């Protein structure tokens, strides 16, 4: 078994080495402003060229480097988390197939070659979600694959409509794309990045193993939609869909923040946090800041994957339960874990000079400087305060010294193997924002704000943290039916889970039942099999009565029937 687990070490070393090469290549691409396009012609149909294209520019190289870095660390982490697993080879092969599919999507500037990576992500993510093969995983996998199938169909329809343009290459941007075609691409990105109303599948996909959540549902699969929107940025800005992007993303960010505050499942809290940050990326994309959205995509991938790995260690050490109310005293039993969880949570909140600060603060400053609707501004600042709120709540429940563990507890600190896997991403959570802001990402000059605008962001964040800490210290809350319904609505993502699962299935079952009663057991039954049977029985009964009559003999009936058929055939 231990010899078999060496595949994780080999793949981890290979991916980490590739990430170093990709990051250096991306840095050189920024410095020399150089990009490379490789294209193979597959088929030429009159003026349309079907080709396989690969694009290597600074954006794709940096994204490839981050994907290789995270997947390499996850491979090393899987040695600990999947220890004792019988089907670890299947797990590792599916994980490698997922990484290859992500590579294809990143370097494809062509809709046809991108479709290979897009569908590969959908297939492998479904296989990873249902890995544990129980009813919960099956239901979550079905919700995941059906929600993403809407986006797959939108991509296929956009490929069919782009045939009239004569090219499927969106790198050489053509600006005559109509709003319907751009809307299909935006719809596909909404499903892949779990924006409203397709948000229910991301928390449900937490039924997968934690290494899968750390890789798939924090930094790669869910950011594929954001990455495609970045590639289509100029076309979207020339269309009339920027307001749609802004509205959906801001509502998703606020909804996910509210849900995370009331959620008790630790992994779902981190998943809803990912959903909130995805809304933040698409929000800044809607105003045309694609470099800033990509910058936050990379920094978010670093601290969110390390946060997932720390949460996975807490779940594994606690014996399996994911309820945050059953996890406590990790600050006392696991001081290294406490430091890492606290630091990554602060990076998520945008604490100064950590990775999330450079991208998140710049994004919020840019939104303040723009002529933004007051309602949107309130939702954006509310979502920012909620980020601090659920981060402090998770930190309080997991790392506080108030012990809820058993009298004989097996909680311990990180082993050396886990420290090796988490430390790389933890250091990236601390320094990646600084390095990319000053070295790699070609951003615009900093914005200039008044003192009131500058301190508003910090005050809202601080108020959110203080409010949720005070809320948690309350011993008694007044019970009311209205409050309970509101709490259920907020904790269930505004009933999106029920609307995505029970409503379509129940409506389909009701339509099927009505169809069976009306058609199969109704008109078709009367004019179909049963009706024909009763008609033939009545005709046969008439013939039998005629043959038994004294007035008509059998041979006369035979002659008459033969004569009748001869007339019909003639």
DSSP string across 130-172: TTT-SHHHHHHHHHHHHHHHHHHHHHHHHHHHGGGGT--BSSS
> Residue 266 and residue 270: Cα distance in Å, rounded?
7
> Residue 377 and residue 400: Cα distance in Å, rounded?
34
Phi, psi of 329 (to 5 degrees): 60, 20
Phi, psi of 550 (to 5 degrees): -75, -20
359 closest CA partner among 461, 291, 310, 311: 291
Q: Is the peptide bond before 197 cis (omega within 30 degrees of 0)?
A: yes
Q: What burial letters (b/e) apply to 1-17, b meaning 16+ CB within 10 Å?
A: eeeebebbeebbeebbe
> Residue 300 and residue 163: Cα distance in Å, rounded?
36
> Residue 183 and residue 115: Cα distance in Å, rounded?
17
Tell me the sheet residues that pair with 252: none
| Cβ–Cβ under 8 Å, residues 54 and 38 | yes
In 414-528, where does DSSP find H-type helix? 416-435, 451-473, 481-491, 496-515, 524-527
498 closest CA partner among 204, 269, 152: 204
- Please list the pLDDT of the chain residue by residue as tens digits (570 residues): 444 557 777 777 888 888 888 888 888 888 887 888 888 877 777 777 777 888 888 888 888 888 888 888 888 887 777 776 777 778 888 888 888 888 888 888 888 888 888 888 888 888 888 888 777 778 888 888 888 888 888 888 888 887 777 677 776 655 566 777 888 888 888 888 888 888 888 888 887 777 888 887 777 888 888 888 888 888 887 777 888 888 888 888 888 888 888 777 788 888 888 888 888 888 888 887 888 888 888 888 888 888 888 888 877 777 666 666 666 666 666 777 778 888 888 888 878 888 888 888 778 777 777 777 778 888 888 888 888 888 888 877 776 655 555 544 555 556 677 777 788 888 888 888 778 777 766 665 556 666 676 777 777 777 776 776 666 555 444 545 555 666 666 666 666 666 666 666 666 777 777 777 777 777 677 776 677 777 777 777 776 776 666 555 556 667 777 777 777 776
| Cβ–Cβ under 8 Å, residues 310 and 426 | no
Structure tokens that stand for 536 in this block: 């033939």
**pTM of the full predicted structure?**
0.81
**Cβ neighbours, 10 Å, residue 97:** 16
> Residue 491 and residue 262: Cα distance in Å, rounded?
5
DSSP element (H, E) containing 119: helix 111-129
> Residue 104 and residue 115: Cα distance in Å, rounded?
9
């Amino acid at each position: 078994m231990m010899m078999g687990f060496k595949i994780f070490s080999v793949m981890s070393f290979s991916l980490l080495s590739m990430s170093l090469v990709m990051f250096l290549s991306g840095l050189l691409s920024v410095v020399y402003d150089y990009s490379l396009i490789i294209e193979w012609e597959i088929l030429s149909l009159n003026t349309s060229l079907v080709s396989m294209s690969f694009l290597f520019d600074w954006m794709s190289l940096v994204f490839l480097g981050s994907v290789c870095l995270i997947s390499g660390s996850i491979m090393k982490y899987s040695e600990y988390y999947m220890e004792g697993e019988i089907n670890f080879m299947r797990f590792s092969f599916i994980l490698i197939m997922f990484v290859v599919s992500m590579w294809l999507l990143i370097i494809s500037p062509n809709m046809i070659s991108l479709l290979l990576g897009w569908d590969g992500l959908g297939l492998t993510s479904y296989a990873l979600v249902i890995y544990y093969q129980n009813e919960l995983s099956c239901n979550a996998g079905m919700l995941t694959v059906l929600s993403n199938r809407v986006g797959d169909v939108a991509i296929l329809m956009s490929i069919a409509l782009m045939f009239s343009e004569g090219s499927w290459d969106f790198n050489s941007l053509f600006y005559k794309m109509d709003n319907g075609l751009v809307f299909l691409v935006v719809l596909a990105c909404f499903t892949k990045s779990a924006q409203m109303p397709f948000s229910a599948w991301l928390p449900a996909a937490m039924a997968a193993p934690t290494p899968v959540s750390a890789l798939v549902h924090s930094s790669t699969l869910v950011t594929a939609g954001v990455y495609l929107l970045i590639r289509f940025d100029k076309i979207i800005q020339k269309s009339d869909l920027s307001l749609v992007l802004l509205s959906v993303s801001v509502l998703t960010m606020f909804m996910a923040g509210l849900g995370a505050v009331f959620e008790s499942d630790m992994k779902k809290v981190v998943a809803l946090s990912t959903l909130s940050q995805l809304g933040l990326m698409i929000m800044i994309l809607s105003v045309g800041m694609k470099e800033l959205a990509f910058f936050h995509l990379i920094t978010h991938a670093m601290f969110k994957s390390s946060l997932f790995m720390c949460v996975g260690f807490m779940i594994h050490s606690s014996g399996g339960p994911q309820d945050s109310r059953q996890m406590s005293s990790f600050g006392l039993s696991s001081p290294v874990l406490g430091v890492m969880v606290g630091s990554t949570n602060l990076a998520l909140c945008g604490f100064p000079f950590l990775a999330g600060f450079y991208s998140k603060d710049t994004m919020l400053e840019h939104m303040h400087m723009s002529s933004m609707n007051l309602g949107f501004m309130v939702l954006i600042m509310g979502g920012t305060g909620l980020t601090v709120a659920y981060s402090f709540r998770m930190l309080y429940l997991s790392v506080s010294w108030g012990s809820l563990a058993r009298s004989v507890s097996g909680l311990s600190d990180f082993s050396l193997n886990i420290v090796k896997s988490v430390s790389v991403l933890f250091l990236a959570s601390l320094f990646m924002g600084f390095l990319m802001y000053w070295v790699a990402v070609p951003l615009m000059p900093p914005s200039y704000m008044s003192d009131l605008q500058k301190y508003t962001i910090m005050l809202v964040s601080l108020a959110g943290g203080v409010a949720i800490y005070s809320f948690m210290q309350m011993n008694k809350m007044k019970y009311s039916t209205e409050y309970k319904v509101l709490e259920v609505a907020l904790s269930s993502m505004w009933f999106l889970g029920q609307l995505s699962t029970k409503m379509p299935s129940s409506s389909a079952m009701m339509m099927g039942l009505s169809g069976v009663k009306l058609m199969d057991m109704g008109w078709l039954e009367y004019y179909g099999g049963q009706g024909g049977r009763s008609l033939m029985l009545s005709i046969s009964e008439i013939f039998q009565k005629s043959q038994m009559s004294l007035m008509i003999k059998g041979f006369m009936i035979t002659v008459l029937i033969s004569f009748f058929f001869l007339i019909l055939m003639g």
